[in-house]
Amino acid sequence: MQNDQNKKISMKEIAVLCGVSVATVSRAINNTGRISDETKRHVLEIIDQYDYSANMAAKSLRESRSKSIGVIVPDISNEFFSKITLKIETFFYEKGYSVFICNSANDPEKEKAYFKSLDSKLVDGILFISGQKNISKDLISRNIPFVCIDRYPYHELNLPNVTCDGIMGSYIGTELLIKKGCKRILTIRSNTGNYSQHKRLKGYENALKDYSIPLDDNLLFSLKGPQSSYIEAENIIDRCLEKNIDFDAIFAFSDRAAYGALTSLKKNNIDIPGKVKLVGFDDSLYSRLASPTITTIRQDTDLLANLSSQLLYDVMTGTKELTNEQIVIPVTLIERETT
């Protein structure tokens, strides 16, 4: 049954319809306390009949919680983030929460504005994938439960955090290349300077060291950022080939960059994996759809999203204390045609 007014039917009206008080209706809905089975059944029947649903604004005002959370991501149109977002949404849907999607576009101002807005809307928690190195402390005004995903930007306070094992990822990628006989492994990393890119370089360095291969700074490249990352990566490899820089492998710390590198190699008729081997990072469409398909390091986005969601949920519901817990998820090597 429908309510043709522009206004939802209220609890008070339901109460009148049932011949009971609003308190009783409330008790019937929320399974809270003393009410006879019969009254309850009757009330719920009427509620169903009139398609009543609570006014969450009123409920939130009263309870100081909103049954919704915020997810802040740098770029929702990026496969990596949209997959994480999907899992988060699914997790919280099942718990009865709605999720606000907040695209920061790597803009600190927008991040800040969103924190304020989410605060204002009384969200019960925030999942935060920051584009920034640091978050200013005053973002967190209320004590909103708060979990960082993938990046770990905040060093003043210790916040709970779930990441993929970037060091291990780049270690096993580098190790694979070394075991296949490569000695001069060129790297391409993003310019964002964020935590995960830093870790990826670390793993590369560790592997070289363990296998006694000297680190050559001339093989370390960074994307500058203004252009699309695969165009930039393509240009980098183009120039390396022009200058006859000696390398027998490329480890790009993102699949997009790997794809760009691959484009350059193909264009210059370099035999892959014969002459140059290639490894990417993420296991995104870029590595899967490329031809040849690109060997990559898979990050388990499902697990990442589920653990983060569960952690936040536990904190929100008081099941768990808010700690500075650091959860690190293992990564997997996916061997494909470029090695």
Partner DNA sequence: ATGAAAGCGCTAACAA
Partner DNA sequence: TTGTTAGCGCTTTCAT
Residue 223: count of CB within 10 angstroms of its CB: 26
Report helix, strand or coil for 75. coil
Region from 120-128, 236-244, 274-282, 330-338 binding its own copies, contact rule CB under 8 A: 120-128
185-189 and 161-164 as β-strands: parallel, antiparallel, unpaired? unpaired
**Residues that contact DNA, how many (by CB under 7 A):** 30
2, 5, 33, 271: which one binds DNA (CB under 7 A) = 33
Residue 278 CA to residue 258 CA, distance in Å, equals: 7
Residue 282: count of CB within 10 angstroms of its CB: 26
| Smallest separation, CB 210 to its own copies (Å) | 34
Q: Does 10 bind DNA (CB under 7 A)?
A: yes
Closest-CA residue to 194 (of 247, 142, 130): 130
Angle between helices 255-267 and 229-242 (to 10 degrees): 40
Report helix, strand or coil for 217. helix
CB-nearer residue toward DNA: 34 or 137: 34
- Which amino acid, one-letter code, is at 266? K
Residues 103, 127 contacting (CB under 8 angstroms):
no
Partner whose footprint covers residue 302, from its own copies, DNA, none (CB < 5 to 8 Å by kind):
none
Interface with DNA in residues 44-83 (CB under 7 A): 54-55, 58-59, 61-64
Q: Does 57 bind its own copies (CB under 8 A)?
A: yes
Report helix, strand or coil for 339. coil
Q: Which two tokens stand for residue 262?
A: 């691959």
Partner whose footprint covers residue 310, from DNA, its own copies, none (CB < 5 to 8 Å by kind):
none
Residues 337, 289 contacting (CB under 8 angstroms):
no
Partner whose footprint covers residue 31, from its own copies, DNA, none (CB < 5 to 8 Å by kind):
none
Q: Does 119 bind its own copies (CB under 8 A)?
A: yes
Binding mask 295-334 for DNA (x = CB under 7 A): ----------------------------------------
Residue 103 CA to residue 278 CA, distance in Å, equals: 32
Partner whose footprint covers residue 122, from its own copies, DNA, none (CB < 5 to 8 Å by kind):
its own copies
Residues 180, 277 contacting (CB under 8 angstroms):
yes
Q: Does 190 bind its own copies (CB under 8 A)?
A: no
64, 244, 269, 319: which one binds its own copies (CB under 8 A) = 64
Q: Which two tokens stand for residue 215?
A: 């680190």
Binding mask 76-115 for its own copies (x = CB under 8 A): xxxx--xx-xx--xx--x----xxxxxx-x----x-----
Partner whose footprint covers residue 117, from its own copies, DNA, none (CB < 5 to 8 Å by kind):
its own copies
Residue 163 CA to residue 149 CA, distance in Å, equals: 6
12, 289, 323, 337: which one binds its own copies (CB under 8 A) = 289
Closest-CA residue to 175 (of 205, 197, 199, 152): 205
285, 317, 323, 326: which one binds its own copies (CB under 8 A) = 285
Closest-CA residue to 285 (of 101, 78, 90): 78
22, 213, 307, 333: which one binds DNA (CB under 7 A) = 22
Q: Does 34 bind DNA (CB under 7 A)?
A: yes
Residue 149 CA to residue 308 CA, distance in Å, equals: 7
Q: Does 8 bind its own copies (CB under 8 A)?
A: yes
Residue 187 CA to residue 280 CA, distance in Å, equals: 10
Kindly list the residues in this chain that would bind DNA in the complex (CB under 7 A): 7, 10-12, 19-24, 26-27, 29-30, 32-36, 38-40, 54-55, 58-59, 61-64
Kindly list the residues in this chain that would bind its own copies in the complex (CB under 8 A): 2-3, 6-8, 51, 53-58, 60-61, 64, 66, 68, 71, 75-79, 82-83, 85-86, 89-90, 93, 98-103, 105, 110, 116-122, 138, 141-143, 259, 285-286, 289-291
